Structure 1
Amino acid sequence: MGLISEVLLLPFAPVRGSGWVVQQVLREAERIYYDPATIRAELARLEERLESGEVSEEEFDRQEDELLDRLETATRTGAGTGDGTAPR
């Protein structure tokens, strides 16, 4: 039965392969997005932007809250490696 179903589903192989690729890209993007080192670097850049006057205090607070939420999620789930790179 397995061989027959594989033969019958062969025309759909490119679609299944594309789905796998999209899934891998999404997984890698999430690892980078939730990497604690990346988030800390973004916090540092945000603080520099506040000090240089590029962002207002309100905008700083909003973005800082978002980054801290991401950092909390990252530490809770153990995402990323903490060194600015995603695990391979």
Structure 2
Amino acid sequence: MGLITGLFTLPLAPVRGVVWVAEQLYDEAVRELNDPAVIRRQLMAVQTAREDGTISEQEAAQQEEELVRRLWTATRTSGGGEV
């Protein structure tokens, strides 16, 4: 970036900073959403809630179906890790 370009785009620096932070937050959220370890912990939490009776069988089945789908996708896209 040249001196003139830098001077003209200086007012945009805060906007670029906010965009960078937003991109970092998005990337971290996607990583956590697709992390097999996190998904497995969520599956265990659903099983515990089912055993405690805090959620119905139907709710548990729906949540487990979604979590297994996410786990399947995460392991396929991450290079075939253990399911």
Q: Which runs of 4+ in 1 moved over 2 A?
A: 1-6
| 1:65 paired to 2:72 | no
Computed over aligned residues only, the root mean square deviation of the Cα atoms, in angstroms, reads 1.9
Of structures 1 and 2, the one scoring higher in RCO (CA 8 A, sep 6+) is 1
Cα distance per residue 1:12-58 (max 9 Å; x no partner): 10000110011011101111121101110110110111111111111
> Number of paired residues?
80
Instruction: Please give the TM-score of this superposition, normalised by the length of structure 2.
Output: 0.85
Query: What residue ranges of structure 2 are gaps of 5+ in the alignment?
Result: none
Which amino acid is 2:45 matched to?
R
| 1:29 paired to 2:4 | no
Give the 3-state SS of the residue equivalent to 1:38 in structure 2: helix
* Structure 1 residue 5, shift from structure 2 partner: 2.2
Instruction: Please give the TM-score of this superposition, normalised by the length of structure 1.
Output: 0.80
